[in-house]
A and B are shown apart, each in its own frame.
Chain A
Amino acid sequence: MFEGWDAVVLARAQFAFTMSFHIVFPAFSIGLASYLAVLEALWLWSGREVFINLFQYWLKIFAVAFGMGVVSGIVMSYQFGTNWSAFADKTGPIIGPLMAYEVLTAFFLEAGFLGVMLFGLERVGHRLHFLATLMVATGTLISAFWILSANSWMQTPAGYAVNADGQFVAADWLQVIFNPSFPYRLVHMVLAAYLTTALVVGAVGAFHLWRDSRLPGPRVMFSMAMWMATLVAPLQILAGDQHGLNTLEHQPAKVMAMEGHYQSHPDGAPLVLFGLPNQAAGRVDYAIEIPKLSSLILKHAPDAPLNGLDTVPRQNWPPVPITFWSFRIMVGLGFLIMTLGLCSLWMRWRGTLYASKLLHIFAMAMGPAGFVAVLAGWITTETGRQPFTVYGLLRTVDAASPLAAPAVGSSLIAFVLVYFAIFAAGVIYILRLMALPPLHGEQGPRGDLPAHAAGITPAVGVAAQGAT
């Protein structure tokens, strides 16, 4: 099996597959960890029972999602060596330390405090438990910092030199870490994680309000989620625009692929709304265009010239169709999310936020939109930088392990089978947890470890703790 296949293509398929599965979980747990910290803070501050019920409710879901994120993440950290050993050898001196710092500053922090966060509320007292929740939430953000720094360095390498063995070595670590695309990517991704979580929380809230609009828990979570969508979606569109301008500066071929600009436009480039990119012929068939708009967006002048892929050597072209389409999916969903936020703002003003079935259906339909948008965004940025692994410096074909196709193909099949079985089960368990509304006296991740939350106000708990 797999004789005659291209081992590099199989390795790329494996990376794309395992990465796509993995990224869904961090995107969710970054946002959810912060949300849990907010809920616990509100509970400690206000003493309202609804917040601890929501906290325990989402904590159970967090536990399942976090576990899946951990196990799929371990796979990623070893894949650099198994399938991409030439990459590991050449970039190890730069990417390795960034990932080592991620482990040291983020993974241990999350893992160390996760146990207390999940099972320790009654063992350590409320204040220490809140500290644990904060540490886990901080850990997820630190993790995003390092891994996006590493990814951004591969997109826009800076602060490096090349040694006699052909390895990239750091000349200036600050330039390596804060490479040109990093700040934009970090902001764009963290906002994406927050929006993704807000849409999930909103959809779950909408589902329960749709069935019974008087439930206190769903009302609170729906309102919080819709505020998030209202406020963050426009910010995210702005951040995405800035990220795009940064990409135009450092990776122009990627923007050409996103825009479907095979040809240069010396006096103003049109915005291609839709069309069928024809990579072989080097043109977009059946294009529906708005004249000059692309130049206006990217250069802030309608007649500004924009180069096309005809200025880039053919062997350096990214695969335009995938980049073009995934970019449109991401942007389309971004505007839909903003629409949801605006609708909710309108309903809120009218006083029908909790009663409007139409809004609830809209919010439910948008539940998975964040995940799809995150995946589409990653596909855009990762295919758009092809055919390079380290942009302009190391080609993807030169980064792979010296392995025969059967080895890579077999492991690909193994991962596909295992991931579908495991993660399908996980998603079912999460959906099952979501199908129940958060209740009075909601219990934590262990049904048989009573959380004693019902009826106890934090003030009493804190006082009791202070007395001991």
Chain B
Amino acid sequence: MTANIDLATLWAFIIAFAVFVYVVMDGFDLGLGILFPLFPAKADRDVIMNSVAPVWDGNETWLVLGGGGMMAAFPLAYAVLMPALYTPVVAMLIGLIFRGVAFEFRWRTTQSLRNRWDIAFAGGSMLAALAQGIALGAILQGVHVDGRHYAGGWWDWLTPFSILTGIALLVGYALLGATWLVLKTEGELRDKAYGLSFYLLFAMLGVIGMVSVATPFLHIQYTERWFSWPNIVLTAPVPIAVAVVAVALLRSLATRQDSRPFFLTLALFGLSYAGLGISMYPFIVPQSITIWQAASPQSSQLFMLAGVAVLVPLILGYTGWAYWVFRGKVRAGSGYH
């Protein structure tokens, strides 16, 4: 049984890792879609699209790994959460359809119709980001479980808190998108991205603050986790680190160091994500199902562990290579340089 406990924890970290990689990789990608309406010029839009066209598909594969991996490693949690998050998940899927096909479709059509696919790209990205944030909030606030089933209605997820987390993720992705543009573009496009990053950083700090204040009110367990002695020794560094990273990010924006803001924003996401983990652990469905209750049998978790141990480093290797191939600034009209 002890072996199983360790395996379940290990798998919780693997799934958390996959979801985090998804959030940071598809985050900037969705963020570009969210910012799209602010860049009406065709030349800018072509550059923005070309900056992620070679990698967006790989980014979204992490979402499939998060979902598929959860079904494999924690089938009970998958079976409870998916019906509970029914509407946001369907909305997210539809959003991803619109933005995903736009990558190719917008090049295959006339100017007037291209605008339509640009709207699909922007709208789909916003819908997907909002739905993911709402799903996150809905998980945090807990779902109604009876036995091995979800026992609530199909609108239970809709609360002021889940709307707040939806908006928070939308803002966060937009910041990732803006700092990605700082990294990958130049000239006026980059100047505009710098300006946007500045505003979005303050917006993001604002929503992080609001979510952090609201979360302890959801469940007494969250309050205890964060503020009880001696936990606070371990939890207090998280907000302090957020403040430090925020200051560094602000400075990098002010001093215009193209390569830094994106990675500092990733650090901000990492810290927020760690905060989430602190709140949730060891529950996978908060306050109802722990990772051990949801874990699939050892035979399944071990079988997959072998694959993960060999394949994930390989995947990170060739994905890194693909990013390396398309490194550097993207310029208008001529793709990569």
Q: Point out residues on A near B: beta carbons under 8 Å.
A: 63-64, 66-68, 70-75, 77-78, 80-82, 85-86, 88-97, 99-105, 107-116, 118-120, 123-124, 163, 165, 167, 169-171, 173, 401-404, 406-407, 411, 414-415, 418, 422, 425-426, 429, 432-433, 445-449
Contact = CB atoms under 8 A, between A and B. Distances in A.
B322 A93 contact: no
Interface of B: 46, 50, 53-55, 57-58, 60-61, 63-65, 67-69, 71-73, 75-76, 78-83, 86-87, 89-90, 93-94, 96-98, 100-101, 103-105, 107-109, 148-151, 153-154, 296-297, 299-300, 303-304, 307-308, 311-312, 315, 318-319, 321-322, 325-326, 333-336
B325 A123 contact: yes
B335 A449 contact: yes
A103 B61 contact: yes
Contact of A118 (B54, B71, B300, B318): B54
Given A68-B101, A70-B60, A112 B75 contact: no
A445 B96 contact: no
B83 A448 contact: no
A229 to B, nearest CB: 28
B225 to A, nearest CB: 27
Contacts of B94: 414-415, 418
Given A82-B83, A448-B335, 20 more contacts: A67-B101, A70-B57, A70-B60, A78-B89, A85-B150, A86-B149, A95-B71, A100-B65, A101-B307, A102-B68, A112-B318, A163-B297, A167-B297, A169-B297, A170-B303, A402-B83, A414-B94, A425-B105, A449-B334, A449-B336
Closest 9 CB pairs of A and B: A92-B75, A96-B72, A115-B54, A81-B82, A89-B79, A111-B58, A407-B154, A71-B100, A85-B79
Contacts of A109: 318
B69 to A, nearest CB: 5
Nearest to A173: B303
Contacts of A447: 107
B76 A89 contact: yes
A138 B169 CA distance: 36
Contact of A169 (B78, B79, B299): B299
- Most B C-beta atoms less than 10 A away, residue of A88, A105, A449: A88
B87 A407 contact: yes
Interface class of chain B by DSSP: helix
Contacts of A89: 75-76, 78-79, 148
Contact of A119 (B54, B60, B154): B54
A116 B151 CA distance: 46
A404 B156 CA distance: 13
A404 to B, nearest CB: 7
Contacts of B311: 104-105, 108
A402 B304 contact: no
A422 B307 CA distance: 35
A103 B68 contact: yes
Contacts of A100: 65, 68-69, 71-73, 304, 307
A446 B68 contact: no
A107 B100 contact: no
Nearest to A449: B335
Nearest to B94: A418
A448 B223 CA distance: 55
Nearest to B323: A115
A59 B64 CA distance: 25
Contact of B299 (A63, A88, A93, A449): A93
B319 A108 contact: yes
> Chain B CB within 10 Å — which of A81, A89, A118, A404 has the most?
A81
Given A93-B300, A407-B154, A425-B105, A88 B100 contact: no
20 contacts: A64-B108, A67-B100, A67-B104, A74-B64, A80-B71, A85-B82, A89-B75, A89-B78, A92-B78, A103-B64, A103-B68, A112-B322, A115-B326, A116-B54, A118-B53, A119-B54, A119-B326, A120-B325, A170-B299, A449-B50
Nearest to A63: B104
A108 B61 contact: yes
Contacts of A95: 71-72
Contact of A104 (B71, B96, B148, B307): B307
B58 A108 contact: yes
A99 B336 contact: no
Contacts of B318: 108-109, 112-113
B315 A445 contact: no
A361 to B, nearest CB: 28
A88 B57 contact: no
Nearest to A72: B97
A345 B300 CA distance: 50
B59 to A, nearest CB: 8
Interface centre among A82, A170, A449 (most CB of B within 10 A): A82
Contacts of B63: 74
Contact of A81 (B53, B79, B304): B79
B163 to A, nearest CB: 20
Given A71-B96, A108-B319, A407-B154, A422 B101 contact: yes
Nearest to B146: A402
Contacts of B96: 71, 74
Contacts of A446: 50, 53, 107, 335
Contact of A92 (B79, B81, B107, B336): B79
A140 to B, nearest CB: 13
A96 B73 contact: yes
B83 A77 contact: no
A426 B103 CA distance: 12
A104 B312 contact: yes
B190 to A, nearest CB: 20
A81 B81 contact: yes
Given A104-B307, A107-B64, A445-B107, A88 B58 contact: no
B304 A97 contact: yes
A167 B297 CA distance: 9
A109 to B, nearest CB: 8
B157 to A, nearest CB: 12
A404 B57 contact: no
Nearest to B81: A81
A425 B120 CA distance: 13
A77 B315 contact: no
Contacts of A124: 325
Nearest to B74: A92
Contact of B46 (A112, A165, A448): A448
Contacts of A445: 104, 107
Contacts of A101: 304, 307
Given A75-B97, A81-B71, A104-B308, A97 B79 contact: no
A229 B253 CA distance: 60
Contacts of A85: 78-80, 82-83, 149-150
Contact of A112 (B299, B315, B336): B315
A119 B71 contact: no
A120 B54 contact: yes
